[in-house]
């Protein structure tokens, strides 16, 4: 085997190619909006993350490239402002989401961002499906009563079931 192959490889290992520069994923409009929110709500920290998420008590995460960036950012801010720190039952989660979307509507007005009823409803539908899935009886498949964060009561089987 020619020595040059070895030396080439070694050289490559010593000087790896420079990583491509991190592209700026936030559009100018979104970047400005983010700066406005940081100034208006200094009690919270805004950080890029893998999804839009409010982590109690102070952190709001966002995805830089999302097409609904401003709306979703206001939605997480709504959770933060409403103090949504915990929930016990799936149904409470649904109520929390409903409240947060109401608050998002207000925030949209305050910050002159178009609110999308359709988008809010489709997000809520995702939670409705999720709650529905969570409350199905593992034995018979009927919808159960939610007793607490761990258990369900199936009126058909007449027994308590652990949540999936």
Of these, 6, 85, 156, 160, which contacts Zn ion (CB under 5 A)? 156
What distance in Å separates the CA atoms of residue 163 and residue 148, rounded to the nearest whole number? 9
What residues form DSSP beta bridges with 136? 143
Among positions 4-63, residues that touch Zn ion (CB under 5 A) are none
Closest approach of Zn ion to the CB of residue 108, in Å: 14
3-state SS class at 71 = helix
157 binds Zn ion (CB under 5 A): yes
Angle made by CA atoms 91, 96, 97, in degrees to the nearest 5: 100
Contacts of Zn ion in 114-143 (CB under 5 A):
137, 139-140
Query: Near Zn ion by CB under 5 A, which window of 17-25, 58-66, 95-103, 125-133?
Result: 95-103
Give 45 or 139: the residue with its C-beta nearer to Zn ion: 139
Residue 160 as a binder of Zn ion (CB under 5 A): the answer is no
Rg (CA), the chain: 23
Closest to Zn ion by CB, 15 or 148? 148
Q: Does 74 bind Zn ion (CB under 5 A)?
A: no
CB 148 within 8 A of CB 161: no
- Identity of the residue, 10 or 140, whose beta carbon is nearer to Zn ion in the bound complex: 140
Angle separating helix axes 90-110 and 69-82, nearest 10 degrees: 120
* Least distance in angstroms from the C-beta of 51 to Zn ion: 11
Q: Which is nearer to Zn ion, 34 or 73 (CB)?
A: 73
Q: From residue 65, give the alpha-carbon distance in Å to each of 31, 72, 85, 107, 162.
A: 11, 12, 26, 21, 39
- Which residues bind to Zn ion, rule: CB under 5 A? 97, 100, 137, 139-140, 154, 156-157
């Amino acid at each position: 085997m020619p020595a040059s192959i070895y030396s080439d490889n070694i050289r490559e290992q010593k000087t790896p190619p420079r990583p491509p520069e991190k592209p700026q994923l936030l559009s100018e409009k979104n970047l400005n909006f983010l700066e406005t929110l940081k100034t208006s709500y200094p009690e919270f920290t805004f950080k890029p993350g893998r999804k839009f998420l409010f982590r109690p008590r102070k952190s709001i995460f966002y995805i830089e490239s999302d097409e609904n960036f401003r709306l979703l950012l206001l939605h997480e801010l709504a959770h933060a402002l409403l103090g949504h720190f915990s929930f016990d039952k799936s149904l409470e989660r649904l109520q929390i989401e409903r409240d947060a979307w109401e608050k998002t509507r207000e925030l949209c007005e305050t910050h002159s961002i178009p609110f999308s009823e359709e988008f809010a409803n489709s997000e809520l539908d995702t939670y409705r499906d999720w709650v529905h899935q969570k409350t199905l009886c593992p034995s018979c498949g009927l919808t159960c009563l939610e007793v607490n964060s761990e258990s369900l009561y199936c009126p058909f089987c007449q027994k308590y079931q652990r949540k999936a």
